[in-house]
């Protein structure tokens, strides 16, 4: 609801003075604005005067919009939870697969040693143990890094 009007209230002493070299005019500009689905009560009442029942329709529209927004947020949170469950499942599957491969490598290394193939057996055992130790250190350093990032985010 903008409004522009000419006024002499800004410089009343200059305008009333007979010795002022020029006539001075003041310009006053005012405006109002709002944001959001619900207008201020004064404007809402004006809507209702123009078309009875409009205020109720605007309030109903705002309530439906809020309910829709809440349902979308709930759906997004539900999808996030589903995604995290899937990621956990993938993580457990990866860990189990790595453990199985490492155990098989150790088993085959032992079999090679028992057949008298010392170099191949020790190489296979070192490969299996190395992969287990490497996975442990990688996991340990990754968890420390995540812990450090969480500490920085909280600060």
The full set of domain ranges for the chain reads 1-33
Handedness of CA 68, 74, 80, 83 (dihedral sign): negative
Query: pLDDT (tens digit, 0 to 9) for every residue of the chain, 155 residues total?
Result: 555 555 545 555 555 555 555 555 566 777 778 888 888 888 889 888 999 999 999 999 999 999 999 988 888 888 777 777 777 777 778 778 888 888 888 888 889 889 999 898 889 888 888 888 887 788 777 777 777 776 766 65
Cα dihedral 117, 118, 121, 126 in deg (nearest 10): -160
Residues 19, 40: Cα–Cα separation, whole Å: 47
Strand, helix or coil for residue 98 = helix
pLDDT computed for residue 60 by the predictor: 93
- pTM for this model (two decimals): 0.38
Residues 58, 34: Cα–Cα separation, whole Å: 15
CB 102 within 8 A of CB 131: yes
């Amino acid at each position: 609801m903008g409004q522009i009007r000419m006024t002499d209230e800004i410089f009343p002493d200059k305008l009333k003075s007979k010795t002022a070299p020029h006539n001075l005019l003041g310009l006053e500009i005012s405006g109002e604005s709002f944001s959001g689905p619900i207008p201020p009560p004064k404007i809402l009442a004006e809507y209702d005067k123009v078309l009875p029942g409009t205020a109720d329709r605007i309030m109903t529209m705002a309530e439906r919009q809020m309910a829709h927004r809440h349902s979308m947020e709930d759906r997004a949170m539900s999808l996030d939870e589903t995604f995290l469950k899937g990621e956990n499942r993938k993580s457990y599957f990866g860990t189990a697969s790595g453990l199985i491969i490492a155990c098989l490598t150790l088993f085959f290394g032992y079999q090679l040693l028992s057949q008298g193939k010392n170099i191949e057996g020790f190489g296979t055992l070192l490969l299996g143990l190395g992969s287990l130790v490497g996975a442990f250190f990688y996991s340990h350093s990754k968890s420390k890094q995540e812990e450090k990032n969480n500490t920085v985010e909280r600060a």
